[in-house]
Amino acid sequence: MSGIIFDIKRFAIHDGPGIRTSIFFKGCPLSCWWCHNPESCALGIQHVDFDFKGSRIIGKKMSSKELLKEIEKDRDFFEESGGGVTFTGGEPLLQSDFLQEVAALLKGADYHLALDTTAYASPQVFSKSVELMDLVLFDIKHMNEAKHFEYTGVSNKPIFKNLEYLIENDKPIHIRFPMIPGFNDDVIHLKLMTDYLKSLKKIERIHLLPYHKIAAGKYEKLGIENKMNGIEEPSENMIQEVKNYFLSRGFDVRIG
């Protein structure tokens, strides 16, 4: 089976334990205002015109065996560092059959597997896709459904349902929280979110991902409206305040 990948990053150190190879799946059902990888959102292979620099092809069709071969090149680093493979995107669950096939091949060869996901998928797709994962990096963007819809284009209901499935099934989870000024960084929202996470009893770590403007140029090149225009990156102080709040609620916090 083949899937569409838009990047492979080696020596990643923020996507799970140890040194990892991160596989970026193309396509995402969300359309977050702050997306750092807007080139990943559409599912198919794209030819994008970059003015005088010529055009670039975004996305590559790869078979599961080709992907396995690429990943095998990094095996020594995984063994030395306790690392492995992280599926990210985009949203890997949008190509769930391909994801499941690749995960089964890798698990057969004893790789540590992590899935970085929005968890926006049906319970059937989600449960089957996380079966072979050793760790789920789970994004939480906003607790309020209407706000979530406004800024991402989808409801958060299936996302929380899938989070609760992971809890019931004792899957290791790290929460990823994109800190977006004016959207989800106010005290009321942080309290609501941490109350919810506490009620689940098994969440220990939150990765705080502060908004940055790094992707602004990509929006221009892709001809996509950048809804974050005029919104500033959070200051070091603001980031520390949110970090300290999470710490005060008893979570282990990592930035980035």
Residues in CB range of 132: below 8 A, 6 or more apart: 100, 103, 104, 106, 107, 113
Q: Which two tokens stand for residue 36?
A: 């750092």
Q: For residues 135 and 10, what is the distance between their CA atoms, to the nearest angstrom?
A: 18
Does 193 engage in binding with ligand SF4 (CB under 6 A)? no
The H or E element containing residue 216 is helix 216-222
What DSSP string describes 121-149?
A: S-HHHHHHHHTT-SEEEEE---SSHHHHH
Q: How far is the CB of 40 from ligand SF4 (least distance, A)?
A: 5
Q: How far is the CB of 247 from ligand SF4 (least distance, A)?
A: 25
**List 2, 31, 46, 127, residue binding ligand SF4 (CB under 6 A):** 31
Q: How far is the CB of 29 from ligand SF4 (least distance, A)?
A: 8
Site size toward ligand SF4, by CB under 6 A: 12
From 16-24, 31-39, 51-59, 99-107, give the range in contact with ligand SF4 by CB under 6 A.
Answer: 31-39
The H or E element containing residue 116 is strand 113-117
From 9-17, 33-41, 63-71, 128-136, give the range in contact with ligand SF4 by CB under 6 A.
Answer: 33-41
From 10-18, 27-35, 58-66, 92-100, give the range in contact with ligand SF4 by CB under 6 A.
Answer: 27-35
Q: For residues 62 and 6, what is the distance between their CA atoms, to the nearest angstrom?
A: 10
Q: For residues 119 and 35, what is the distance between their CA atoms, to the nearest angstrom?
A: 16
Assess contact for 114 and 99: CB atoms under 8 A.
Answer: no
Q: Please say which residue, 5 or 41, places its beta carbon nearer to ligand SF4.
A: 41
Q: How far is the CB of 30 from ligand SF4 (least distance, A)?
A: 4
Q: For residues 191 and 205, what is the distance between their CA atoms, to the nearest angstrom?
A: 16
Q: Which two tokens stand for residue 51?
A: 């003015």
**Region 125-184 residues binding ligand SF4, contact defined as CB under 6 A:** none
Q: How far is the CB of 88 from ligand SF4 (least distance, A)?
A: 8
**List 83, 84, 90, 210, residue binding ligand SF4 (CB under 6 A):** 90
**Region 101-130 residues binding ligand SF4, contact defined as CB under 6 A:** 118
Place of tokens 């020596």: 11
Q: What residue ranges bind ligand SF4 (CB under 6 A)?
A: 28, 30-32, 35, 37, 40-41, 89-91, 118
